[in-house]
Structure 1
C-alpha cells in the first residue's frame, strides 16, 4: 500500500473529499490518485433498442437513438475528465505535489477491489453522486466498500475543516489492538488532540484495557485522553463528539463486538446522519 486514492464524482461534497484527501496526503507524505468511476447506471453502452415498443421496423429512429446513446456516453466520459481536472487543481492548490488522475468504467466497489493493492488509504464521500443526500441511500455504498475492502478508509462529510481533535472508539479486541498499533505508528494523527474511548461497563477489566491502549500510544509518542463511558455506543459516541468538538472520528471494522455491528449493520445510516465529521475506518 503505497499511496492514497480518493473517489471523485459530481456530487456536492466532491470538494470536501478533495480537501480531506489532500490533508491526509500531506500528513502521510504520500502520493494521491484521484479516481472517477463511470458506473453502468450512469450511461448506456451499446444499447439495443430493437423490439422496444415495436420500433424494430423504424430503422431511422433506432439509428438516432443509438447516436444519442453514443453521444451521452462520450459526454459522460468528458464530464468525468473535467471533474478530475478540477479536483486535481484543488489538491495542487492545497500543497499536494504528487497527483495522478484515473478514470475507469464499471461498478465502484469492483474497481476499488481491483486497485486495492496499490492503496494505502482510501478516501470517499458519505453521499454519492446519485444519492442526493437522501436518507434512503445514505451510507449504503460506503457500507458496501467497507465490507468489500481491507485497507483503512476516510469517509468525508459534505463540509471539511482541518481536524484538530480526534476520537478513537476502542473495544479491546485483538483487531482493535492491531488498529491501535497501526494508528500509533502513523503520522496521520500526530499533533492532534486524541480522545480514547471505551464504551461499556465501568469496571476494572475495561479500565485495564484502556490503560493498556493508552500506554501503547504513549510509547509511540502519542498523548491521549482515556475514558470509559457507560451506555450504548450509538448514543454515547455521537454525544461525546458533539460535546467535545471532535472533528475526526476513528473506528474499527473488525472483531464481532457490538461496536462492529453498529458500524457495519443497519444503523450505519444513523451514524452517518448524526455525525457531521470525517470518519476514519481502520481494518
Structure 2
C-alpha cells in the first residue's frame, strides 16, 4: 500500500520549500512523511582528471592521497546530509507532522526513487537543486517524471498554503483519471479548484468540463470551469497568472498537444515556465 509522502532534501536554497510543501501534503493526506537525501557519487567526484599530473616517481603516493581525499569527501557529504535531514525533521515536527522519518542513500537519485516507489504515495522534489546547472536540474526532474508512476509535486519559490488550484483538463482518459484522483483525495478538499481547458469553445469541450465539474462537486470540491483559446502552454500560463492560481495540476499524458508540451525534451521548458508549483499526476 502506498502511504508515504517522500520529500527529496539537498543543500540548495529550495530545500526549505520542499520541506514545507511536504509537511502540508502529509497533514492534508494524513500520511506518514519521509525525507530522503541521496548521495550521488558522480556529483562528489573532483572536477577534471588529475592522472596526467602524476609523475613516475610519485604515482603511488599521489594515488593514495587522492583515495584518502575521496574518502574524506564522502564522509563530509554524508555528515552534511545527516545535518540537513535532522533540520528537515525538526521543521516538520514544528509544523505538526508526527514522527517524520529520514533516509540517506548512496547511488543515483532516479534509481533510488524507483526503488522506493512501492511505498510512495506522493513525491515532493524541488525544481532546482544544489550545485547544478539549471538545465541539468530540469532534465533531472524530467527523468524522475518519466521513471516514476506516482504523483510528483515539483516545488519552487516560497511556500504558501494553496487556496486556488488549477487543473489542466482536456477530456482525455488520462485527465479524467486525474479528476477521479482529485475527487477521492483529501489533498484539495474544501479548496477552490479551476478546471481549465485550452482549446476551442465547442459543445463537446463544454460537456467534458461539465462532467468534471459535477464529479468534483460530488466530492465536496468547489470547481470553476474555463475554456481558454490559444496554444496549450501559453493559454494555461496566462490563466494561471491572470487568476492567481497557487498550484497547477497536470496529467503526465494528455491529448497530443499537451503530451508534446509536457512529456519529452520540452518538459524542462515547461518546468522553467511555470511560476507556481506543479503537481504531475501519473
Fold shared by both chains (TM-score > 0.5): yes
172-181 or 272-281, which moves further after superposition? Answer: 272-281
Aligned to 1:257: 256
2:17 matches 1:16: yes
Q: TM-score, normalised by structure 2?
A: 0.93
Structure 1 contact 120–151 (Cα < 8 Å) conserved: yes
Q: TM-score, normalised by structure 1?
A: 0.93
CA-to-aligned-CA distance 1:191-221 (integer Å, 9 cap, x gap) = 2111001111111111111111111112212
Distance in structure 1 (CA, Å) of the matches to 2:183 and 2:95: 26
Distance in structure 2 (CA, Å) of the matches to 1:43 and 1:99: 27
Structure 1 contact 194–223 (Cα < 8 Å) conserved: yes
197-206 or 57-66, which moves further after superposition? Answer: 57-66
> Which structure 2 segments of 5+ residues have no match?
none
**Equivalent residues, number:** 278
Aligned to 1:72: 73
Deviation at 1:274, TM superposition (A): 2.7
Alpha-carbon RMSD: 1.8
Aligned to 2:155: 156
Distance in structure 2 (CA, Å) of the matches to 1:3 and 1:281: 17
Distance in structure 2 (CA, Å) of the matches to 1:98 and 1:213: 37
Aligned to 1:43: 44
Which SS does the other structure have where 1:137 is aligned?
Answer: helix
Written as runs of structure 1 = structure 2, the 5 A alignment for 1:83-122 is: 83-122=84-123
> Which structure 1 segments of 5+ residues have no match?
none
Deviation at 1:52, TM superposition (A): 4.7
Structure 1 contact 12–158 (Cα < 8 Å) conserved: no
Which SS does the other structure have where 1:139 is aligned?
Answer: helix
Aligned to 1:276: 275
Structure 1 contact 156–277 (Cα < 8 Å) conserved: yes
Distance in structure 2 (CA, Å) of the matches to 1:256 and 1:150: 18
Which SS does the other structure have where 2:61 is aligned?
Answer: helix
